[in-house]
A and B are shown apart, each in its own frame.
Chain A
Amino acid sequence: AQTVTQSQPEMSVQEAETVTLSCTYDTSESDYYLFWYKQPPSRQMILVIRQEAYKQQNATENRFSVNFQKAAKSFSLKISDSQLGDAAMYFCAYRSAPGGTSYGKLTFGQGTILTVHP
């Protein structure tokens, strides 16, 4: 079974600065997908960014980028030019590649609460 670990229960950043959230995972699979979800106080789960394991290039979505280190099984999220609206709980998640019995199930980390100071 796969496991996802977020070792930072809480992080804080000043507005306009950069912050990096850490995530490590354990798997014996070679093909899989990794995600970062944002959960603001409204509780709505919002997909921030996605990385396919077979792609060496790190994914980028505007101010959000990842550092994907497949050999180290590490998947960190970097938020640049932090904004007050970035304050939320962030979850790292793992999904097996299609096929087999995975059926798109997500395995989540414990979450990191991000506070943004004005």
Chain B
Amino acid sequence: NAGVTQTPKFRVLKTGQSMTLLCAQDMNHEYMYWYRQDPGMGLRLIHYSVGEGTTAKGEVPDGYNVSRLKKQNFLLGLESAAPSQTSVYFCASRRGTSVLNEQFFGPGTRLTVL
């Protein structure tokens, strides 16, 4: 199993450009999450999904959109990138609601917006 993978690993954008980050998991997990990591702030939840075709807002959703058309993929979109969106983005997935179900993280995507 590859676990949770993220594409791309690095990206540089200019202000106003758009891009999509792809998260894929091969563990048949129901729940998927997108976090951003900024210095001194830990990881903050952007959006999450509790199943194919569903999405919901997290703590910091402004400026981002998501889609979960297939169970194994969770896409994070930036329609008009801003320098404030410079961050490291992590995707995570989790099997279900059991207390023992661990959240598995991808390797992260470092995004710089100039």
Query: Is there contact, CB below 8 Å, between A108 and B107?
Result: no
Q: How large is the interface on B (under 10, 10 to 19, 20 to 34, 35 or more residues)?
A: 20 to 34
How many A-B contacts are there with CB distance less than 8 Å? Answer: 56
Neighbour of A105 across the interface among B48, B88, B98, CB < 8 A: B48
Query: Is there contact, CB below 8 Å, between B107 and A98?
Result: no
Q: How many residues of A contact B (CB 8 A)?
A: 23
Mask: chain B, 88-114; 1 = CB below 8 Å from A; 0 = not: 101010100111011101011000000
Q: Is A75 an interface residue (CB 8 A)?
A: no
Q: Is B2 an interface residue (CB 8 A)?
A: no
Q: Report the minimum CB–CB distance from B101 to chain A (whole Å).
A: 7
Given contacts A97-B99, A103-B56, 8 further A-B contacts (CB under 8 A): A91-B42, A91-B43, A99-B97, A104-B94, A104-B103, A106-B35, A108-B43, A111-B42
Give me 12 A-to-B residue pairs in the complex whose CB atoms sit less than 8 angstroms apart, sorted by A's number: A9-B40, A43-B88, A52-B99, A98-B97, A99-B97, A103-B31, A104-B31, A104-B94, A104-B101, A104-B103, A106-B35, A107-B45
